[in-house]
Amino acid sequence: MLLSDSAAWAGAYLALEWTIRVVMLVVVPFRRSPDAARSWLTLVFFLPIPALAIYLLIGRPTYPRWRRDRFAKLPKLLAIAIKQIAHSHFCRRPFLPSNLEEPALLIEKLGQFPTLAGNDVEICPNYDQLIDNVVSDINRAKRSVHLLFYIFADDATGRRVMEALGQAARRGIACRVLIDAVGSRRWSRRVVKTLTSHGVDVRRALPVGLLRRRSARADLRNHRKIAVIDSRIGYVGSQNIVDAALDRGLVNEELMVRVTGPVVLELQAVFAADWFMETDQVLDAPVLFPHRAPGDGAVAQVLASGPDYPDAGVGLLVTALIHGARERVVITTPYFIPDEALVQALKTAVLRGVEVSLVVPHETDHLLVHLAQRSYYADLLRSGVRIHSYREQFLHAKHITVDRDIALIGSSNVDIRSFVLNAEVSLVVYDRSVVQLLRLEQDRYFAASEVLTCEAWKARSILTKTCENLARLAAPLL
């Protein structure tokens, strides 16, 4: 009897596994890239029941219906801000040469924000100096301070910023802070408690919890790093509010930009959109989107991307920029997990005579991601892409220059997670002087890097190659 029962249970289990395999074979490829489908189906074939559980948790890069419904209201609720950004005399549209018109139009179609002239852009590669600048600008704030950061720590750096926010709030300045609930989870309770006690309105973005009525998915995160002070000064880039030496003995090296001018209003609009998504509060007061006399300066625009913006993929922009390159492309990123379209764009650019360089850190804080990204190097090296392994610190900066005319600086890595799953923000600047300043930083990276070669890369051990290739199978899921 027991033997018969065991055989029946085994048969039922086997039938369940094969049912999952067959159903997933139909479901998984729907509206998914071939690489992602292949990774999911490999997992399903070997581990069907765990694969189904994981797929139900993180298999579809979409937010819950209530959040999608709220996002659908956003354009109407922010109509005043969008109108002021697009039509005020302060936010005048610039003339662009023909080679820049196409990327500018693409960005506007993807993220709604137009190109705006009259911006001053300052490159900020010094970690501690950046924090000094942010604190100083908060101390001089007269109306509002808005911060949105993936990581906001209760450490020496975080406490400096919190103290500045507290002093601003006591002066009557409207201070609002958004922190990602997962990225800041180690410190979020203390940060929220401290800022609230100072009179700062602070919220967790995309909170996660089994018992939460509106819990977010743990893998869909708000990865943006934005500061906007008085709608006049903006910061955007890769750096979080946390000590440089965060984990495992690694010291982060970052790059942010400090901007003044009309493009700051686009950063303000991104913050206002995220604030509405988390609080259902509309920030459209005219004081947050002021008119000022236009000045000289760089042409720039902002692209917000993420699951809330299904057509605003920063990956699509990066691929398009590489296809449009004529002379030189330099990509700096801590995590490099490209999709097939990006790999082909890089190879095609080299064949067209474009000098393509990739700068990645030698050290890592995510071993599986590091192994997966190394699996792409051999193919890129053979095609002529130059890969620079930066050895001084953990290079967490995220920026791209294209020829002498275009600089992209933001929070997005060059990986599938940033392209599809994370909410990101990018500042695109069309200005030769800004590109030249960024290229000076890139030249400094080159000088502190080991240049990888095909011959040396081929000499890796069989074990190393095997681990990298196995990690690559999971690349679309990382």
DSSP line for 332-368: E-S-EE--HHHHHHHHHHHHTT-EEEEEEESS-S-HH
- Asked whether the beta carbons of 433 and 300 are under 8 A apart, the reply is no
| Active-site pick, 35, 180, 198, 225 | 225
- Asked whether the beta carbons of 386 and 448 are under 8 A apart, the reply is no
State how far the Cα of 38 lies from the Cα of 367, in Å rounded to an integer. 22
State how far the Cα of 200 lies from the Cα of 173, in Å rounded to an integer. 9
DSSP line for 437-477: HHHHHHHHHHHTEEEP-HHHHHTS-HHHHHHHHHHHHTGGG
| Active-site pick, 396, 405, 415, 431 | 396
**146 is annotated as an active-site residue:** no
**76 is annotated as an active-site residue:** no
240 Rama class: left (phi>0) / alpha (psi -120 to 50) / beta:
beta
DSSP line for 278-311: HH------GGGS------S-EEEEEEEEBTTBTT
End-to-end CA distance of the chain: give it in Å, rounded. Answer: 46
State how far the Cα of 175 lies from the Cα of 108, in Å rounded to an integer. 29
In the 3-class helix/strand/coil scheme, how is 99-142 assigned residue by residue? HHHHHHHHHHHHHCCCCEEEEEEEEECCHHHHHHHHHHHHHCCC
Residue type, 186: R
Around Cβ 215, how many Cβ atoms within 10 Å? Answer: 14
**193 is annotated as an active-site residue:** no
**87 is annotated as an active-site residue:** no
| Active-site pick, 180, 230, 308, 405 | 230
**396 is annotated as an active-site residue:** yes
| Active-site pick, 146, 198, 223, 370 | 223
| Active-site pick, 146, 347, 398, 399 | 398
Count how many Cα atoms sit within 13 Å of the Cα of residue 351 in the half-sphere of its side chain.
10
**132 is annotated as an active-site residue:** no
Give the residue numbers marked as catalytic: 223, 225, 230, 396, 398, 403
